[in-house]
Structure 1
Amino acid sequence: GVATSWDWFFGGTSSQTQVSSGSGVIFTTDGYIVTNNHVVASAERIEIIYNKRNYAAELVGTDPSTDLAVLKIEESNLPAIKLGNAKNVQVGEWVIAVGNPFSLSSTVTAGIVSAKGRRIGILEDKFPIESFIQTDAAINPGNSGGPLLNASGQVIGMNTAIIQGAQGLGFAIPIKTAQQIAKELISTGKAEHAYLGIEMATLTPDVKNQINNNPNSSVRVAVDRGVAIVSVVPNSPAAAAGLRPGDAIQKINNRPIIHSEAVQELVQNAKVGGNLQMEINRNGQIVILNVRPGSLPVQKVS
């Protein structure tokens, strides 16, 4: 488990220590541990409890965009997790969630994969990057940061979120994402994400009609397939490349695009400063644009 504590001052005359708990996974044998950013974001002191021992933990780095964080303890020869392949995960397969809900250590629950690639808007960040594995395995407060395992005991995701008041709706970060971000945090203390600066919507005949008949917007699209650009952030890489609201993305690097998740995946996998060739439909005409992703802006804490 991951135990965090901080001081709470009221009126400058009294203090009270608040303690929260979460879970984590041993990422490397030399003491790097991966958990959720929201578990440790406000902590002044972090302790790891492992094998009935308490360790003082160093916060190596955080990435609010994916809700991931890396901690370090001074220990060696730890049993690191066995990684699975989230791409091989099938909807309907059995999974196991492990964690410490309500400080009940080593709690195991089982369920199935309900869906993949979920974007549900629950990460508390200005620029969230979401592509969750959805499961009905019971995930409760304190499970955050714990592993989601397949039937072979391999980690395929990291439990990160539940929707309050909803039963059977838990979400996990795919392990490929967690592995990539963890390596960057260990190496540099921060994670870099490619960024375009667009708001988009997957096109269908109904979505096209909704966009074109919206009296509060001047955005109009010419086709009902692909991904519509609804808005473009000023001074963003998308704006610099000439993308406009109403453009409909048809292909990226010659790959046909039929839903917004594919755009997000290609942008996530792109290098900052690299090149994405976009084929777009603009007012019924095909236009080819080269877009160079920038670095995702860091959200400043006020």
Structure 2
Amino acid sequence: MRQSKIWKKATTSLSLILLSGGIALGGNYLINSPQSFAQNSDSETVTNQKNSTTEVTKTAVNLPQNYVSDVVNKVGDSVVRIDASRKVSTNVPAMFDDPFFRQFFGSQMPDIPNEQIQRGMGSGFVVSSDGLILTNAHVVEGSDEVKVTLKDGRSYEGKVMGTDPLTDVGVIKIEAEDLPEVAFADSEQLQPGEYAIAIGNPLGLDNTVTTGIVSATGRSSSQVGIADKRVSFIQTDAAINPGNSGGPLLNANGQVIGINTAIIQGAQGIGFAIPIDAARDIAEELIAKGKVDHPYLGIQMTAITPELKDQLKANNEKWQLTEDEGIVIVNVVPDSPADKAGLQAGDVIQKIDDEAVSKAEEIQQAVRQTKVGNELPLQITRDGKQVNLEVEVGVLPVPQTAKR
């Protein structure tokens, strides 16, 4: 697998402060396979007048090398612990600072500081020998201080080069040289059933190793229950706990296939990771310019179902559906690329870039793969007639609360 040149380039050009987090999987997997078994034959049996004795040739059982240990020895030194802290306002009620109340209540008034230190912990992994570290955005975003600790105990101040909340990817830089870096797999080729190994710091337990398999690939953010993210996830049955976020998910060869990032509350044996191919693309943008421009159309949509058609009919909506398949546009954001291209609520998308679509996720994927400024061809039906449109993909607006 190629190592992106940009890992080597970016060293000190950007100075934003970033943290990283990690995730680990639970349960080491050990394979024991006897190579041979004890055997006996007629020639090995000796009988005398009083008793008979069977002489058995004993062969030692050979155990194959534990592949999990190989991976840990190969990658363990590349996994780091991230400790992040930031100051947060305590929003003390104004009456607590009012001299009138303090005059009468004095020592009975609670002494609440205006700011408190909020601390977080996670994992990350080294992607270039000169100190670039990949992690989750939520581990380090908004942090005032980031501390990166290597497996051998050395600690460094980390600088956040950029975070992307929509994919939960972050990049940190530490001033170090000759660090052991990870190797990457092609996550596009990942198949359910493959072995998965994670190394991280769950619940503060450093260098925890857990194992499992890849349960599924291509899980949408809506399926995972975090609809604000714009990435498809790898699903694994490995155990994920707080502190694992940002750590690597590895294959049996010790190559990174994903960044562990999420769990479903109350679930057992279900965790999720960001595919490493997508994470590397995001990381390269963060290194280059400190932010990511996400492609954007500006529509709300849903797949056509019999239930949806019945609901529209019952509610006497101004438009009705005659199509049985496709993706119906429910709403168009004003002044968005879709609005400027002439898309309307009630339009049914049949094809996108000449590919038939039946799921909203297919359209989201096509938009994500289109560069900002490029045109995306759409084939729609409107009032029973086929219409071909081209939408110039725009940049997803950054919410006011998410601006850096």
When the two structures are superposed, what TM-score results if normalisation uses the length of structure 1?
0.92
Residue 25 (str. 1) matches residue 101 (str. 2):
no
- Equivalent pair of 2:129/2:179 in contact (CA under 8 Å): yes
Corresponding residue for residue 78 of structure 1: 179
Superposition pairs for residues 1-302 of structure 1, below 5 Å?
A: 1-8=81-88, 10=90, 11=92, 13=113, 16-50=116-150, 51-121=152-222, 122-123=225-226, 125=228, 128-203=229-304, 205-210=305-310, 212-213=312-313, 215=315, 217-301=317-401
Which structure has the bigger radius of gyration? 2
Q: Distance in 2 between matches of 1:196 and 1:249?
A: 13
Q: SS of the counterpart of 1:301?
A: helix
Q: Sort the Cα spacing of 1:216 and 1:5 in 2 relative to 1 into closer, same or farther, 3 A.
A: farther
The letter of the residue matching 2:342 is G
Q: Distance in 1 between matches of 2:307 and 2:217?
A: 22
- Equivalent pair of 2:221/2:230 in contact (CA under 8 Å): no
Q: SS of the counterpart of 2:177?
A: coil
Q: Distance in 2 between matches of 1:263 and 1:196?
A: 10
The letter of the residue matching 1:21 is M
RMSD of Structure 2 on Structure 1 (CA): 2.1
| Number of residue equivalences | 299
Percentage identity across aligned positions?
A: 47
- Equivalent pair of 2:302/2:329 in contact (CA under 8 Å): yes
Q: Distance in 2 between matches of 1:211 and 1:85?
A: 43
Indicate the structure with greater helix content.
2
Q: Which moved more, 1:99-108 or 1:109-118?
A: 109-118
- Extract unaligned runs of 5+ from structure 2: 1-80, 93-111
Q: SS of the counterpart of 1:290?
A: strand
CA drift at 1:93: 2.0
Map Cα deviations across residues 152-198 of structure 1 (whole Å, 9 max, x no partner): 22111111111111112211111111000000000111111110011
- Equivalent pair of 1:211/1:219 in contact (CA under 8 Å): no
Q: Distance in 1 between matches of 2:130 and 2:286?
A: 15
Q: Distance in 2 between matches of 1:145 and 1:216?
A: 48
- Equivalent pair of 1:222/1:282 in contact (CA under 8 Å): no
Higher RCO (CA-CA < 8 Å; seq separation 6+): 2
Q: Sort the Cα spacing of 1:163 and 1:206 in 2 relative to 1 into closer, same or farther, 3 A.
A: same
Q: Which moved more, 1:188-197 or 1:280-289?
A: 280-289
The letter of the residue matching 2:324 is D
Q: Distance in 1 between matches of 2:268 and 2:382?
A: 43
- Equivalent pair of 2:379/2:388 in contact (CA under 8 Å): yes
Q: Which moved more, 1:9-18 or 1:151-160?
A: 9-18
When the two structures are superposed, what TM-score results if normalisation uses the length of structure 2?
0.70
Q: SS of the counterpart of 1:178?
A: helix
Indicate the structure with greater strand content.
1
